[in-house]
Amino acid sequence: MPRPAMPRSATPPSAVSRRARVEDTACAPLLAVTGDSLVLAPRRRTGSPTAAFAGTGRPPGPYRRLFSAPGTRAFTAGNLVARLPMGMFSVSAVIMIAGSRGSYALAGAVTATGLAATALVAPWTARLVDRYGQARIAVPATALAVLGSLALLLCVRLDAPDWTLFAAYAATATTPNTGGMSRARWAHLYRGDAAALHTANSFEQAADELCFMLGPVVAAFLCSALFPEAGTLVGAVLLLTGVLIFASRRSTEPPVAPRVPAGSPLRTAGMPALLAVLLATGAVFGSMEVVTIAFADGPVAGPVLALQAAGSCAAGLLYGRSRRGAGLPACIAAMTALMSLPLLAAAGNGSLPAVAGALLVAGMATAPTMVTAMTMVQRLTPPAQINEGMTLAVTALLGGVAAGSASGGYMVEHLGAAQGYAIPVCAATLALVLAWGTAQDTKKARKP
């Protein structure tokens, strides 16, 4: 007698039996001995990230795995709120001061003073964070910075003397390095996990680019749509709110070392050379911004600069999905090559759309370079000084931005905006030369 055909949707009895046995085994209770009796103990699921994704059929993506640790989403949300004003304050101050006093020179001098004060104060603030903890230092330091912003607002509003503007804006130098503190948390949570740390640094770099892309736009809108002081006021509220949310997530905060090493991370082998690379890299960013503003020469300069940040943001997110990163010399070599595209576009037909497209492509080399450099900073810095190490890296970048801005402005004024794009190429080439030396110093530092 012929055997009846089994429907395609049906499952063979043998497979059903095997699957049932597996499910029964996975869900079956365990036997436990209590005193002189044998009882059934229910099987419990573990709360590890790996167990949370068990049974999904495929491993979690790098970003989903990154945020599987408890508390990571909350401190990231607070950090993003606190980081957005970093792209708002300088633009808001320039619009507010220039509109009130009628002098862009005064506005630029005030913001430059604040940048210089931040470069001096930030490493000391970070050292206190390492010694006493993020929450204990970041909150009062932010409160002082917010008071400085409000003082600047009042000085402008009440038409106070010019010197009060410099003093008030310099008081904002106590603003903690929120991006560095966030990277310090990732380094603490995933120390020893190179893949997760690579993804975390890529995400943080993308967040930096996003905030500095949206910050100026938000600031300009608030100052023009509401009143000139609106950008500074909203930025101060966002900064304080974000830091309070960030600091409240104590479970992910790096523990305070019982004894912080004496001296600075600058004494670590390989660190000075790496900071020199970051100084030259900052010059690339600073000169590119000034030259692009001069080349666009109008309100379209903001969207054109946003294209470069958008390219970097997208590249950062994609770079974080890769299983391993490239070396720092390779990243800077790619950046040097891509930074020549705006120069070629400007020197060729001089079309603004062509330059904008070149900036979008050139920005894609920024994030991989910064991610790799920040990962090296984390590896070289002692765990007890991680916040200070990250802040020193940011300070080096700020110093490079200031030097690049001055060099780009000089080049534009004497040779023209199109020729000014040669400055980022030269700065990137210098960074590439220094990166080769940094790679050798890092290898020596890893040797016992």
- Rg over alpha carbons for the chain, rounded to the nearest Å, is 26
> pLDDT tens digit string along 128-180?
888 888 888 889 999 999 999 999 989 888 888 888 888 988 888 888 888 88
pTM: 0.68
> pLDDT tens digit string along 350-405?
788 888 888 888 888 888 888 888 888 878 887 777 778 888 888 888 888 878 87
> What is the mean pLDDT of the segment spanning 110-119?
80
Say what percent of the chain tops pLDDT 90.
Answer: 6
| Burial state string for 343-368 with b = 16 or more CB within 10 A and e = fewer than 16 | bebbeeeeebebbbbbbbbbbbbbbb
The pLDDT assigned to 438 comes to 62
> What is the mean pLDDT of the segment spanning 85-113?
78
53 or 215, which is more confident:
215
> What is the mean pLDDT of the segment spanning 274-283?
88
Cβ pair 79, 241 in contact under 8 A: no
Q: Which residues are within 8 A (CB) of 148 and not within 5 positions of it... i.e. 6 or more apart?
A: 168, 169, 170, 171, 172, 173, 174
Q: Mean pLDDT lowest for which of 64-73, 258-267, 330-339, 437-446?
A: 437-446
β-bridge mates for residue 31, sequence order: 40
The pLDDT assigned to 194 comes to 78
Residue from 389, 371, 331, 366 nearest 188 by CA? 389
Q: Which residues are within 8 A (CB) of 310 and not within 5 positions of it... i.e. 6 or more apart?
A: 209, 213, 360, 363
Q: Which pair of structure tokens corresponds to residue 299?
A: 């309100």
Cβ pair 235, 85 in contact under 8 A: yes
Confidence of residue 295 (pLDDT cuts 50, 70, 90): confident
Q: Mean pLDDT lowest for which of 36-45, 209-218, 334-343?
A: 36-45
> pLDDT tens digit string along 17-34?
444 444 343 444 444 444
Q: Which residues are within 8 A (CB) of 93 and not within 5 positions of it... i.e. 6 or more apart?
A: 107, 110, 111, 114, 152, 169, 232
The pLDDT assigned to 50 comes to 44
Confidence of residue 325 (pLDDT cuts 50, 70, 90): low
DSSP state of 176: -
161 or 324, which is more confident:
161
